[in-house]
Amino acid sequence: MSYNLLRITSLLFFFLMGHVGGCKDGLIDHKSQKRSDTAEAHIWWNSSGLINDTIQNVIDDKLPIADPYVLYHQGTYYAYGTRLEGFEVYESNDLKKWRRHQKLALSPNDSWGNRWFWAPEVYYIRSKNKFFMFYSVDEHICVAHADSPYGPFTQEDKSPIISDKAIDTHVFIDHDGTPYLYFVRFTEGNVIWVAEMTDDLKSVKPHSLRKCISADEPWERIQGRVAEGPSVLKHRGIYYMLYSANHFESKDYGVGYATSVSPIGPWKKYSGNPILRRDKPAASGRVGTGHGAPFVDAEGKYKYIYHVHASEQKVGPRESYINDMEITSDGVVRIFGEAIRPVVIP
């Protein structure tokens, strides 16, 4: 679940009012600093606007993003994730050491909304020779464009993609060139939906709206009624949707997947879900593992980036980890191996 981080640069604070990805087989091209030593105070908020973690001083070199996403383009990896005011971008050549770009990839001044910037995903669309950032802001979904993965991304049409509240966007472009937008609506909890997009990738076709995944299995409802953070890829003619379930504050926040013969469903959940959770080997005891995204690395292999809680006791500040991922010969998605803990260097 996306939630935002409020930085405070002094010791005085006050409360605020209010509250690869894509596919290896698809048409989106995925191949084409150390944090300040000055301690910062942080307040963590949940989607209701309530503080869900204590204020703390943080001095660390971890990759400090939640709801992470990686774009691989022309030999460089770019990482984006949830932050409070706009989106930062980090770059790496090896997935282990990352540097933060000095300027924001997306500034609040270039967006329809100005608060709760969550879950950005960036795609290079070859046919348009542009980078597209799909993201959530103020509990609505938007799209911005740039000529560089660093940005600056700007939203030419200062309005959300749909008028209803929604979060957690993901774009999949099928082999026939049809683009689909997956996102979460607040219907009976957090529910994943899909709609076909217009060719300019700025809006959806309302008649095509379909419900995909809701939290209706026991492992998905340990805390809350939440299915979110969708990612879709296509492998050997089968569509795979990875998603996260449970409230993001739950230690049992985890990842499952479903399959379909169509990008709009119906979707059949894997009987062995969840495939990533605190009790699975790949998690190595880390808790709150979820809202990640698959991507293809420089060697053409799948990886999966996701966030974890700060500790057993505290949700935030969250950080990102990367594991190997594969689809086995019998069509099963595995997240496995020893995780990479990305670090941020000067």
Segment 49-72 mean pLDDT? 67
Q: How many helices (H) and strands (E) does the chain have?
A: 0, 23
For the range 323-327, what are the long-range contacts, defined as Cβ-Cβ under 8 Å and sequence gap of 24 or more? 323/276, 323/282, 325/294, 326/301, 326/302, 327/235, 327/240, 327/302
Domains of the chain as residue ranges with CATH: 5-344 (2.115.10.20)
Task: Tell me the pLDDT band of 28, cut-offs 50, 70 and 90.
Answer: very low
Predicted pLDDT of residue 14: 34
Predicted pLDDT of residue 83: 85
Task: Give, in order, the Cα–Cα distances in Å from 214 to each of 116, 141, 184, 194, 337.
Answer: 23, 19, 10, 12, 29
Q: Could you tell me which of 194, 222, 220, 223 has the C-alpha nearest to residue 209?
A: 194
Segment 288-311 mean pLDDT? 98
Q: Could you tell me which of 113, 116, 135, 108 has the C-alpha nearest to residue 49?
A: 116
| pLDDT at residue 123 tops 50 | yes
More reliable by pLDDT, 66 or 27 = 66
| pLDDT at residue 218 tops 80 | yes
Backbone dihedral angles phi then psi of residue 256, each to the nearest 5 degrees? -130, -175
For the stretch 312-336, pLDDT in tens is: 999 999 999 999 999 999 999 999 9
Q: Hey, is 35 helix, strand or coil?
A: coil
Q: How high is the mean pLDDT of the chain?
A: 86
Segment 42-69 mean pLDDT? 55
| pLDDT at residue 59 tops 50 | no
Predicted pLDDT of residue 172: 99
Task: Tell me the pLDDT band of 128, cut-offs 50, 70 and 90.
Answer: very high
Predicted pLDDT of residue 101: 97
Task: Tell me the pLDDT band of 49, cut-offs 50, 70 and 90.
Answer: very low
Segment 257-265 mean pLDDT? 99
For the stretch 84-110, pLDDT in tens is: 889 999 999 999 999 999 999 999 999
Side chain identity, residue 202: K
Predicted pLDDT of residue 60: 62
Q: Report the predicted TM-score, pTM, of the whole model to 2 decimal places.
A: 0.84
Please state, in angstroms and rounded to a whole number, the distance separating the CA atoms of residues 240 and 253: 20
Predicted pLDDT of residue 156: 87
For the stretch 145-175, pLDDT in tens is: 999 999 999 998 899 999 999 999 999 999 9
Q: Could you tell me which of 135, 32, 136 has the C-alpha nearest to residue 74?
A: 32
For the stretch 168-203, pLDDT in tens is: 999 999 999 999 999 999 998 999 999 999 999 999
More reliable by pLDDT, 140 or 51 = 140
Q: Hey, is 338 helix, strand or coil?
A: strand
